């Protein structure tokens, strides 16, 4: 049964409930492949996300940072052999380009590892996502990008939803006619385990141009 975590951002550490769920789901801890969202920058990359796992008591025998320091084939092999794959937060477009250039989408989709993504990483895990200046992306024109497509929905992660619901609804309305969109703020998560989708924290579902807040199920 495949397990995917679409995370927001955590200013401190994973909340206790989320940490406990991750403890239960991550049983194989031989290695973790952490995929950079700033693949040309190497220092301290992934330190924050690793601190969340450390605080939750989830340690690995091996830690691998996937960036331009590795050759494409080596990056793919480390992902294929990973117990957990973690797409780091940061620059969504940089990470998206790196995933495509290094042809990492298929190895991630074919893996039996637990796959996690924080903020930018969560967005790139989804099937499609809207790149827009309204969401803080450094672009002049809004465009829809293809993500890895682990699950057939879109994600807007780590955005101040409560104060921007009309903006979010209008921006994402066209895409929501095609696929469901899960939009979350900080300290939130969407977990897909098998065919079941659960939410933790403040998460909204945008579907066919309508938006509604989901009840927590975790």
Residues 85-130 pLDDT 10s:
999 999 999 999 999 999 999 999 999 999 999 999 999 999 999 9
Domain range holding 88? 3-213
What's the domain count of the chain? 1
Residues of the chain with pLDDT under 70: 43
47 inside domain: yes
Calpha distance 33→77 (Å, rounded): 10
Q: List b or e across 69-98, with b for residues whose CB sees 16 or more CB atoms inside 10 angstroms.
A: ebeeeebbebbeebbbbbbbbbbbbbbbeb
pLDDT of residue 43: 67
Return the closest-CA partner of residue 126 out of 79, 176, 74.
176
Domain containing 117 — which CATH number?
3.40.50.880
165 inside domain: yes
pTM across the whole model: 0.96
pLDDT of residue 83: 98
Phi, psi of 192 (to 5 degrees): -110, 120
pLDDT of residue 71: 97
159 inside domain: yes
218 inside domain: no
**Which residues, 6+ apart, have CB-to-CB distance to 112 below 8 Å?**
2
45 inside domain: yes
Half-sphere exposure of 165 (CA within 13 A, CB side): 10
Q: Tell me the Cα Rg of the chain.
A: 16
- Tell me the DSSP string of 51-96: HHHHHTT---SEEEEESTTS-HHHHHHHHHT-SEEEEPSS-HHHHH
7 inside domain: yes
154 inside domain: yes
pLDDT of residue 42: 72
3-state class of 129 per DSSP?
strand
């Amino acid at each position: 049964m495949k397990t995917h975590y679409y995370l927001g951002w955590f200013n401190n550490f994973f909340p206790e409930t989320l940490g406990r769920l991750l403890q239960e789901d991550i049983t194989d801890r031989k290695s973790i492949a952490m995929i950079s969202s700033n693949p040309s920058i190497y220092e301290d990359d992934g330190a924050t996300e690793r601190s969340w796992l450390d605080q939750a008591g989830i340690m690995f025998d091996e830690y691998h940072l996937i960036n331009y320091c590795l050759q494409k084939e080596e990056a793919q092999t480390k992902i294929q052999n990973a117990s957990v794959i973690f797409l780091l937060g940061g620059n969504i477009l940089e990470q998206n380009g790196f995933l495509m250039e290094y042809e990492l989408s298929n190895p991630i989709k074919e893996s039996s590892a637990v796959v996690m993504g924080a903020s930018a990483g969560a967005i790139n895990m989804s099937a499609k996502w809207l790149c827009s200046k309204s969401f803080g992306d450094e672009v002049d024109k809004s465009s829809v990008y293809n993500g890895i497509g682990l699950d057939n929905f879109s994600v807007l992660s780590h955005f101040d939803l409560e104060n921007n619901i009309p903006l979010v609804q209008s921006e994402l309305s066209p895409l929501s006619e095609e696929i469901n969109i899960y939009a979350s703020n900080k300290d939130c998560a969407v977990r897909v385990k098998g065919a079941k989708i659960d939410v933790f924290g403040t998460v909204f579902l945008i579907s066919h141009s309508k938006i509604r807040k989901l009840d927590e199920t975790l």
